[in-house]
Structure 1
Amino acid sequence: MNSYTLRQLFDIIGSSLSELYPVTEVQAIRKLLFEKIVKMPEYRVPLNPNDLLNSDISNRILEILDELKKGNPVQYVIGEADFMDMVFEVNPSVLIPRPETEELVHWIVSNNKDNSPKILDIGTGSGCIAISLAKYISNAKVSALDVSEKALSVAKRNAITNSVNVDFKNGDILELSEFDGAPYDIIVSNPPYVRELEKQLMNRNVKDFEPHLALFVSDNDPLLFYRTIAKKSKNWLSPNGQLYFEINEAFGNEIKDMLISIGFRDVEIRKDINGKDRMAFGRF
């Protein structure tokens, strides 16, 4: 059994990960481990460097570091991720929620905070988009679709944990011709958009551990999900209904042109905090 001081543990985390991750990611992981496992903000370390941690916490950190050295994402190792000031259970059945997706949610909320919309989230995964919209838009009625039963099980638990009601449904958007509950005021999707050819550019902890079903799309038809969802949304949206996508940064112009050609108006491509085309909007 190992027991370490705060300073020792701080240094062990840094030295264990320094050759595997960029400095900024090591810092983010260390901050997360102190918050989630040590249950203490990292800034306390220099204030109380010699405080001794119990052996259970020390050994748990060592176990986590062993998994991180294999490339396993820290969120999967600890079993949770923060999103929109909420905590979401995550495991390899679902994608890890990302800051870019928070930007999409903020956009939807800001456009609809005074409404009481019916919302459909397609490809819900962990439920992070659907649950956040149910949380932050008063009186929203939210449904969510996913092809994976395992993902839906995670999403349902997350809805309970975060005290919202979402109607989760199992189905493949590529196969569905009708959807119970239509028409909707808002349809949103963060579909698979990473091309197979982009795999080699991805970090190992994403490529080797996160679900390929939710990540990748064929090089031959990278807009498959966007086109399918946009065409079906014409029949599933109410008048003046809104369609939102998270998108591959390489296809902003193509997605804009596609939405216009299908009949959407007020089409907008919005950049994320890193200046990359990341979100699309259209009104039907």
Structure 2
Amino acid sequence: MKIKQYRTHFILELTPIYDSGEAESFFYLILEEKCHLRRIDLALNPDLTFSDEEIQDWNSILNQLKEEIPVQYLLGKASFYGLDFEVNPSVLIPRPETEELVEWILESQKSKGNSQNVKIIDIGTGSGCIAISLAKNIPNALVFAIDVSEKALAIAKKNAKINGVNVTFFKKNILETEDLEQQFDIIVSNPPYVRELEKKEIKKNVLDNEPHLALFVEDNDALVFYKKIAELAQKNLSQNGELFFEINQYLGKETIDLLGKMGFKNIELRQDIYGNDRMIKAKL
């Protein structure tokens, strides 16, 4: 079968679940990963074909996409801040909004001139996307990252190696941690923040496949991770250091109030590309 014909079939099969643009993006993402062919290659060679074996492989992927398994898990990789990351159901798939948090940290660091070694800790690192992107883009940084999940840390360590950076990883339950044991210039976290009551807003492909440990918090204690990390920052944030959070879009005011009551200053809230309250920067 011609690849162009299969593309039409692939998109039609997925459009009851995804919009046609997203279905088409899946097709070209898989085409590049599986066949090392780009959109331009297909445009220049419209008679390219799939073998019967390749069609079987594609049909298997298509059926899993119909079950709303994320394409990143099917391919075992995701892109984040221009880097490739291995992903599996032990870690969240990196999000574009989190790229904006990384960009903000880099902007802030650039404004300081990067004159000294910067010590950074990423709390709840998951795939390692934040820590690794910062290590890649701040050459003089000493980067540490912690997570409660052994499986997540195994993926993060692999991703650090893939991207050629040095990050020191630790297994630690942050809610049971009393001290980070050193001073850090940047403390950053994208902790679990989705309340149980918000589950109805979560897409099925996320709810059924991504790790709930990294997503959800109890409705009556939604800021539990922010409070704990802020307490640690009170002890372990260096003079002129900065605390960065990705936050629940519905709890921007509450998170600001929490940090203000804990003595943080220069609290700044930013929205993401979708216009949602998404990230906070604060100092002591």
206-215 or 258-267, larger mean C-alpha shift? 258-267
CA contact (8 A) 1:37 1:57 kept: no
Matched, 1:248 2:245: no
The answer to whether the 8 A contact 2:180-2:232 is kept is no
- Matched residues in 2 for 1:159 and 1:168: separation? 10
2:124 matched to which residue of 1? 123
Q: In 2, Cα distance between the equivalents of 1:248 and 1:57?
A: 42
Q: What's the offset of the Cα at 1:9?
A: 2.4
Aligned residues: 280
| Alignment partner, residue 176 of structure 1 | 177
Query: For residues 49-68 of structure 1, what are the structure 2 equivalents within 5 Å?
Result: 49-68=46-65
Structure-2 separation of matches of 1:251 and 1:24 = 32
Please state if 1:275 is matched with 2:275. yes
Q: Could you tell me whether the CA contact under 8 Å between 1:37 and 1:61 is conserved in 2?
A: no
**What letter is aligned with 1:218?**
E
Distance 1:9 1:85 in 2: 29
Alignment correspondent of 1:152: 153
Which residue is 1:231 aligned to?
231
Contact 1:38 1:57 in 2 (8 A): no
Q: Which amino acid aligns with 1:241?
A: G
Contact 1:193-1:215 within 8 A present in 2 as well? yes
Alignment RMSD (CA, Å): 1.3
Q: Distance in 1 between matches of 2:73 and 2:281?
A: 31
Unaligned runs of 5+ in 1: none
Structure 2 unaligned runs (5+)? none
The 5 A counterparts of 1:81-230 are 81-113=78-110, 114-115=113-114, 116-180=117-181, 182-230=182-230
Task: Compute the displacement of 1:243 (Å).
Answer: 0.3
| 1:54 positional shift | 4.1
- 3-state SS of the aligned residue for 1:46? helix
Report the alpha carbon displacement of residue 6 of structure 1 after superposing the two structures with TM: 2.0
Secondary structure of the equivalent of 1:111? helix
Cα distance between partner residues in 1 of 2:81 and 2:241: 24
User: Alpha-carbon deviations, 1:89-142, whole Å to 9, x = none?
Assistant: 000000000100000001101111332310000000000000000000121000
Do the aligned residues in 2 keep the contact of 1:246 with 1:278 (CA within 8 Å)?
Answer: yes
Which 4+ residue blocks in structure 1 deviate beyond 6 angstroms?
A: none
- DSSP 3-state at the match of 1:45: helix
Taking the TM superposition and a 5 Å limit, the aligned residue runs for 1:73-88 are 73-88=70-85
Whole-angstrom distance in 2 between the partners of 1:169 and 1:75: 26
Tell me how far apart the structure 2 counterparts of residues 120 and 161 of structure 1 sit (CA, whole Å): 20
Asked whether the equivalents of residues 121 and 143 of structure 2 are also in contact (C-alpha less than 8 Å), the reply is: yes
- CA–CA distance in structure 1, aligned partners of residues 55 and 106 of structure 2: 41
Match of 2:44, SS state, is coil
Structure 1 residue 16: deviation in Å?
Answer: 1.9
Question: Aligned with 2:270: secondary structure?
Answer: strand
Give the distance between the partners of 2:35 and 2:42, measured in 1 at CA: 11
Contact 1:7 1:46 in 2 (8 A): no
Q: Spell out, residue by residue over 1:18-48, the C-alpha distance to the aligned partner (whole angstroms, 9 max, x if none).
A: 1111233213212311221221222433332
After alignment, is 64-73 or 38-47 more displaced? 38-47
Q: Deviations over 1:235-258 (max 9, x none)?
A: 011011100000111011111111
